[in-house]
Structure 1
Amino acid sequence: MRNRPLCSVCLLWIFLIAGIVWFGGEKAEAYFSPSDLETCVEDREEVLVSGTVWKKEFTENRQTYYLTNVSIHIHGRSLRESKIILYRKTNSKKQTENEIFCGNKVKVTGKLRYFDRARNPGNFDQRAYYRRQKIHASVWIDKVLKNRGKQEQWRERIWRLREHWKEMLIRQLGKEKGGVLTAMLLGDRSAMDPEIKELYQVNGIAHILAISGLHLSFLGTGFYQFLRKKSGSYPLGCAGGILALSLYVLLVGKSVSVMRAFIMFLFRVGADAAGRKYDSPTALAVAAACVLIGQPLYLKDAGFWMSFGAVLAMLLILPVFVELPFQNVWAGLSTQILLLPIILMAYFEISLLSLALNLLVIPLLTILLMMAVLASFLWLVFWQESVLLLKGCGWILAIYEKSCDLALMFPGARVTTGKPDLWQCMLYYLIVGGVLLWIKKRKKTDDMKEDKIGKTVVKDCRKNPDRQKKLRGNVIRVGRKKAGRAERKSDRKSRWAAVLGTGIVTATAVLTIPQNLFSGVQVTMLDVGQGDCIFIRTPDRRAYLIDGGSSDVKNAGKYRIEPYLKSQGIHKLDAVFVTHGDEDHIGAIEEMLKRRKMGVRIVRLIFPPQSVWDEKLFRLAETGQGCGAKICIIEKEKQLLEKSGKEIFRIVCLGPDTGQKMEPGNEASMVLAMEYQKRRFLFTGDVEGAGEETLTQELKEHYQNVQWDFLKAAHHGSKNSTKETFLESVYPKYTLVSSGRNNRYGHPHKETLKRLEKYGSRLYGTASSGAVTIRVNGRKAWLTQTLGACYY
């Protein structure tokens, strides 16, 4: 680094910021992203917002406006914010009457909404995502009071150009393929089919959807080289390339990958113009420092690490394989080696076929971008030729989709490892870095030895040039030395490959350690909003689910349950217990059954006796059979048992009692008791009325001397369940309540809370705590909450 002072200074800055951000916790985030708004205004309060529109996005259902220089007026106070988001439902009449342009100063009223934190481990943290963009809240517009000021013509024209380009692509290629090409060219994923987006992601080719160095180098370098050759002038070529790239950056937005590629491009053309050598490490370090100066919290963004990590892999790891054939393969492998911990921390799984898919995708991507950009430029002049080029783009995108579908058909194509901890990632990089340094050192030493041998042979040949016999002998010696050198070089390559392979396998094994360390029982009550979902992991590493559904969270299976399961290293559920047929208990199960190809597979569904089924349970059973799940029935007093030495894990069905006449639904809800290491759990579903009375009688007769440690309150803490007679027979130490925040039912009801307090039970709920996890190992039990120590 002695010859790279600028690179050294930037690296020092990056390490300093990284230390503050990673080890400063919430205080660091508050320091880098201060906001008086969050301390002065409650969620869902009516506010008056004024600011300047700098960006807008339209979808089928809503209009989105980004404001800068924001003032928020409430309670006689005026609070300043750097940015805020406004949402308005799409209404053609209102849009025509009061159209908002980029640059307009607007004043609106509406309800302020804060972004959600991740309420379950592994879930998307909306609050952290928008904090990195310096946005702390959003407002749904009720009324536009003022819309004045001159519109910024250049911003508005860029937005209209972007929208026309997007509409043209979708009109010619259809919504599915047009949405994919829009994401590739414009960085706009709003029109992209969510299933296609997920298909690319699980197969490890989602990076082609981001505006990256390939896109910018294709456009900027293309203009630069074209103008330089035609004019013969480096300055003119540089100016043209920079201008073209700057316009494209304004069009697609200043994302991390775009800014990284743009800054590195400036270094490249600047070096050419100045007649100096382009230094990739310095350009990369300066780009990272510039991005972090704008927002240090990008250090917690996976996109930042993937963008810079892909280039870093080419600089640090690829040179190890430089003497080997098939450089495209080794380039892809180098990227996978460096980005593996980042991919697992972001997505919790990796595709084993992603390297092979990228060998197909990357070469075709260059052709795809060339055809798409050329078709876009020719659209107004040579319409027919443009349509043909876009059809060619559609064929390439069809190849991508078919290849991804085919890859998922291979067994073990996706490996779900769970989310590694920070210390594991650091240990991984230490192992890989140590191996690479060893190979580099050995390579340098061996090259010095070979050079020394070669110099000795040449010197020996030159001693007696007049003696033909001696010369012939030296020539033979030279040939033997060369043959021996080639043989030793081959042996060295094999040895290096063995050492590198062993190091990577060892480092990769380190990333999967945490999911296998804990050998006891884990029970997690997931936050699915107004609904129920309980995850159980047994001592034998089996994974069970009790219910799964929500009445106020859309796609709870995809966005709440599956990310959590994958973060725990779960790729299949051995069984799902279905307590009854309410939508807030089975909606996500049905969703997960249909998503088995890209989500978490369900092996079997366990239902209560068929006599208490309603129409929804019959429909769910039919869906399960169609999706390959086994349908099982559990009756009262039947149990699931696991034995490991003296340890016994048991789940017993306590209801419904088919001998009693019960209506399908809450009364006939399945009730399960779980026991492990003298710790007892009672899962009551939504049982109430006659069902709870029968359960109470059962507990008094057969479980009179049992101490229940954990109770899952029935029916989300409704006052119609968990009655005093029931609590007298249970006396739970801890009670868990699954309910949605500010739900319209008012769960949990105050009457239930008072009854539980009377019987000395400590209450934890998803509405305030997020997911609640209980771990039991030996005689010890731990209870943790996703959102900290919050309870009623």
Structure 2
Amino acid sequence: MLTLTSWLFIPAFLAAGIICYGYMRGRNTLWVFLPLIFLYLGAGRAGYDCRRWEERDEVIRELSGKYVEARGRVSSFEEKDGTLQIVLKENRVKEQEREYSVSRLMVSVKLIEGQEVRDGGDELRLGQVVRVKGEIQPFPEARNPGEFDSRGYYHGLGLDGKLFGEEMEIYDSGYSPLFEGLRRGREWGKEIIYRHTSVEDGGILTAAVLGDKSGLPKEIESLYQKNGIAHLLAISGMHMSFLGLSFYKVLRKGGCGYGSAGLAGTVLVVLYGILTGSSSSVVRAVIMMCVGFLAAYLGRTYDLLSSASLALLFLGIQSPLFLTQGGVQLSFGAVFAIGGLSPVLRNWLGRDRFLSGAVSTGIAVQVITMPFTLYHFYQIPFYGLFLNLLLIPLMDAVVCSGVGVIFFGSFSSVLGTAAAGTGHYILGFYEWICKEMEKLPGYSLTFGRPEPGRIVAYGLVLLAGAVCLKVWEESRAGRDGEKKDREKEENGGLIYGFKVLSLIGVYCLCILLLKPGPVKGLEAVFLDVGQGDGILIQTGKSAILVDGGSTSKKSLGKYSLEPCLKSLGVSRIDFAFISHGDQDHISGVSYLLETSQDIEIKNLMLPYHGREDEAVKKLEALATKRGARVGYVAAGDIFRAEELLISCLYPEKGDSPENANEGSSVLKMDYGNCRILFTGDIGEGSEALLLERPGEKRLLGEVNVLKVAHHGSKFSSGEAFLNAVRPRWAVISYGEDNSYGHPHREVLDRFKEKGTEVFHTAEGGAVMMWTDGERIRFSSFVDGDGLSRYNN
């Protein structure tokens, strides 16, 4: 609710600007204040929706982990990887003797090998009422910076929770003929496409024509996204224009009037929108297309911005949370760029100049959507502007090819295969040019998620530039027309080229405006990796990683560690320290070295006493292959990253640790008066050795922040060790409800006796720490209100 409310500041500023502009232009008072009225109505609707979601969440939390029986109507379903995913609406959920009303549930049912989408001899259809028994769970929320927020995403789609079904039966076999017919048509078209194309081409054409991305190759999706052309695979206004307008024009030429042709076109685009999944971009395009047909029928001028605003209004009324999703913001941002900024740029370039429309539209869309792209995906595809100018015109041919495959392939295998040829070669060209772009320097810039203040400043600068350009053009239009025409003839080509280069320069300047500056002070993120450890430290332009692994999160590197690094603008890790070779400390780092192409590790620092460990040897081989420098760390080694001093206190090269845990590297990091101790998985034996050495014992006494050893095991953080360190704050990283019982009660009691404030990753998600060397502030990622300050 807080996030949604904070976003309302942006339309509030826009409403205030519109009011001021209206007064300056002498508009009618009613129309001037209308934006403010809608703003307050929207805020009220958003507040109501947030309160309603709190009530719905409370129901799901009450049912969480319980075995229930749900009865609901099938809204959609698909089979994927041996699992049947069903969306049920209008649910009655029964738990023992109590019954709850749940709006929408996502049901996941494992299919037996060879089993079709049937139950009890009846085929599953849309609109049927089914009864499912299983365990209900809420959608997980993001617990680290950059992680995908399943809870927010699915709430935006109107889904309350997930039900892992064990038994399912059809309760009422009555179904919706219209929706079921469209679903069957989609499956029929999908089958024809795959029959006449390769698996890879079929997955792309199915996504581009039918809106089904289940067969889209992951590597292709990632390739398109990194190069800024992933929107080509989404059903949008281009598809609606191609189908709807083509059909409309055919009817008009056939003698149909504006009304009948518009009505038929409306029916077509609505049915096509339902068939392709009714995503946000599809709903937007359908509404805008229908408004266009209505305008033609009424003899009124079609206004792009007005129709887009109407679509945004309808979507916002349906679900205010829907507007916080990246796809919605990018979709409407592109439309408002085309209808608002693009005409200003095109007038400045010259409306009749070669490619002025394509250049102005491409740059307008890129600079308007850039903040949204960074906010949700953390990277800017630098060459995306040029790729879109080149590839977007070819997408019409791809869509035509896909439609042709379905049409011709339905009655002729030869014609269907022939129709696929055009799409095949264009898609091959797409893949080739994207891979070539990856070889260019800076093809994907990792800037991280920009803070709200930078986004607002960026928007104000962009708005001011557009207004100044428009005013300047209007003033030029009032000058001597003859002189202007003469200059145009003599220097037109040169001036036009200069203006195009200027716009490209503006595009580069916009990128620089969103480039993050150096970190002020020191920021540390103790990641919630489940049962494991992972700490990211940033100061200035340097980034240090201490461990990065988990045994409870199997894809930690892909879904937690890499997204966190990207969201914080980290594309290069200066030092990656590995305390020891257990998987709960290295699995994510292994992913970065083996799979990730966006994160570079410059120096991999491994434990000296782990040289013979197979897992450590594998890390060394991966790092060497990636060109990283590999070093082995022992007591006495010192490293520096700008103002941060990193010292290894244990073990010495002459020590003989009993096992890998006892051989963990103990690191002390000093930043001003803030001193942090990282202890890996050492036990009381290693702690005793540290205390026996006067130099190390003196350094331990300076520590004020302790990363607790071995996830809070009772065999670590002994009484004598804590008496020597006496940390003011401590952080424990562990998985909720882990089988080891971490953290143990004895350890927590010892910290309580010492007056140490303890932060738990399993309770509030990632623990965030900031210091300027004199003051320290802590907060948790999930609730954000666990604050502490230290001023000495």
- Distance in 2 separating the partners of 1:575 and 1:332: 39
Number of the residue aligned with 1:635: 634
* C-alpha distance in structure 2 between counterparts of 1:239 and 1:503, whole Å: 43
Instruction: State the TM-score, normalizing by the size of structure 2.
Output: 0.88
Q: Are the counterparts in 2 of residues 10 and 289 from structure 1 also a CA contact under 8 Å?
A: no
Report the counterpart of residue 519 of structure 1 in structure 2: 520
Distance in 2 (alpha carbons) for counterparts of 1:384 and 1:332: 38
> Is 2:634–2:665's contact at 8 Å kept on the other side of the alignment?
no
Is the aligned partner of 1:173 residue 2:202? Answer: no
> In the alignment, does 2:740 pair up with 1:745?
yes
- Given that 2:192 and 2:405 are in contact with CA atoms closer than 8 Å, whether structure 1 keeps it comes out as no
Q: Partner residue of 2:442? A: 412
1-side partners of 2:427 and 2:33: how far apart? 43
1:85 aligns with 2:106: yes
1:51 and 1:192 map into 2 onto residues whose CA distance is 30
Q: CA offset at residue 759 of structure 1?
A: 2.4
Select between 486-495 and 265-274 the one with higher mean Cα deviation. 486-495
State the AA in 2 paired with 1:738. Answer: S
Partner residue, 1:344: 374
Deviations 1:201-230 (A, max 9, x none): 111111112111001111111111122212
Match of 2:780 in 1: 785
Whole-Å Cα distance in 2 between the matches of residues 103 and 430 of structure 1? Answer: 48
Q: 1:579 and 1:705 mapped to 2: Cα distance?
A: 18
> Secondary structure of the residue that 1:317 maps to in structure 2?
helix
1:531–1:738 Cα contact (<8 Å) kept: yes
Q: Is 2:414 the counterpart of 1:384? A: yes
Give the SS at the match of 1:325: coil
For residues 177 and 430 of structure 1, the distance between their equivalents in structure 2, rounded to whole angstroms, comes to 43
From 320, 326, 342, the equivalent of 1:296 is 320
CA–CA separation in structure 2 for the residues paired with 1:9 and 1:298: 26
Q: 1:498 to 1:4 in 2, by over 3 A?
A: farther
**Which residue of 1 is the match for residue 299 of structure 2?**
275
Provide the residue aligned with 1:614 in structure 2: 613
Moved more, 482-491 or 385-394: 482-491
The amino acid of 1:410's aligned partner reads: L
Gaps in structure 2 of 5+ consecutive residues: 1-21, 788-792
8 Å CA contact retained: 1:86, 1:138: yes
Tell me by how many angstroms 1:231 deviates: 3.3
* Change over 3 Å in CA distance of 1:37–1:50 after alignment to 2: farther
Q: Give me the whole-angstrom Cα distance separating, in 1, the residues matched to 2:355 and 2:54.
A: 46
Could you say which residue in structure 2 is the equivalent of 1:775?
A: 770
1:234 aligns to what?
A: 258
Structure 1 CA distance, aligned partners of 2:35 and 2:761? 42
8 Å CA contact 1:17, 1:296 repeated in 2 = no
CA 1:226–1:40: 2 relative to 1, 3 Å: same
1:624 matched residue in structure 2 = 623
Measure how far apart 1:297 and its partner are.
Answer: 1.6
Q: Is the 8 A contact 2:633 2:665 kept in 1?
A: no
Matched position secondary structure for 1:288: helix
After TM superposition, give the deviation of residue 698 of structure 1 in Å.
4.1
Deviation larger for 362-371 or 228-237? 228-237
Which residue of 1 is the match for residue 486 of structure 2? 483
Asked if 1:434 is matched to 2:458, the reply is: no
Instruction: Within 5 Å, give how 1:430-509 maps onto structure 2.
Output: 430-451=460-481, 483=486, 508-509=511-512
**1:294, 1:277 → 2: CA distance?**
27
Paired residues for 1:539-558 under 5 Å: 539=540, 541-558=541-558
Indicate the SS of the match to 1:55: strand
Post-superposition offset of 1:335: 0.6
Q: Which residue does the alignment assign to 2:142?
A: 118
- Counterpart CA distance in 2 for 1:208 and 1:743 is 44
Deviations 1:645-702 (A, max 9, x none): xxx5211112233323224521212221111112111111122264344334347854
The offset of 1:348, in angstroms, is 1.5
Superposition deviation, residue 276 in structure 1: 2.8
Instruction: List runs of 5+ in structure 1 lacking aligned partners.
Output: 455-479
Q: Distance in 2 between matches of 1:20 and 1:571?
A: 41
TM-score, normalised to structure 1's length? 0.88
**Within-5 A mapping of 1:709-748:** 709-748=704-743
**For the Cα contact (< 8 Å) 1:18–1:299, is it kept in 2?**
no
Give SS of 2:647's match: strand
Residue in 2 that maps onto 1:106:
130
Share of identical aligned residues, percent? 31
**Given residue 326 of structure 1, which amino acid in structure 2 is its aligned partner?**
L
Check conservation: 1:662, 1:690, Cα contact below 8 A: no
Q: Equivalents in 1 of 2:72, 2:610: separation in Å?
A: 61
After superposition, the CA RMSD in angstroms is 3.0
Matched, 1:65 2:86: yes
In 2: Cα distance, 1:372 partner to 1:781 partner: 58
> What does residue 475 of structure 1 align with?
none
- In structure 2, the CA distance between the partners of 1:438 and 1:665, relative to structure 1 (3 Å rule), is same
Residue 202 of structure 1 aligns with an amino acid whose one-letter code is: K
Decide whether aligned partners of structure 1 residues 205 and 482 sit closer, same or farther in structure 2, where only a CA change above 3 A counts: closer
Alpha-carbon distance in structure 2 between the residues aligned to 1:161 and 1:694: 72
**Corresponding residue for 1:210?**
234
CA-to-aligned-CA distance 1:600-659 (integer Å, 9 cap, x gap): 12222111115553111111211222222221112211010256xxxx521111223332
Displacement of 1:33 in angstroms is 6.5
Q: How many residues align?
A: 754
- Structural mapping, 1:542-691, within 5 Å: 542-597=542-597, 599-609=598-608, 612-642=611-641, 648-688=643-683, 690-691=685-686
Conservation of the 8 A alpha-carbon contact between 2:60 and 2:161:
no
Q: Deviations over 1:51-88 (max 9, x none)?
A: 11111111013111111111122353322121111111
- The alignment status of 1:198 with 2:228, answered yes or no, reads no
Equivalents in 2 of 1:375, 1:159: separation in Å?
Answer: 18
C-alpha contact (below 8 Å) 1:550/1:584 kept by paired residues:
yes
User: Which amino acid letter does the alignment assign opposite residue 707 of structure 2?
Assistant: K
1:309 Cα offset (Å): 1.4
Q: How far apart are 1:127 and its partner, in Å?
A: 0.8
CA contact (8 A) 1:669 1:686 kept: yes
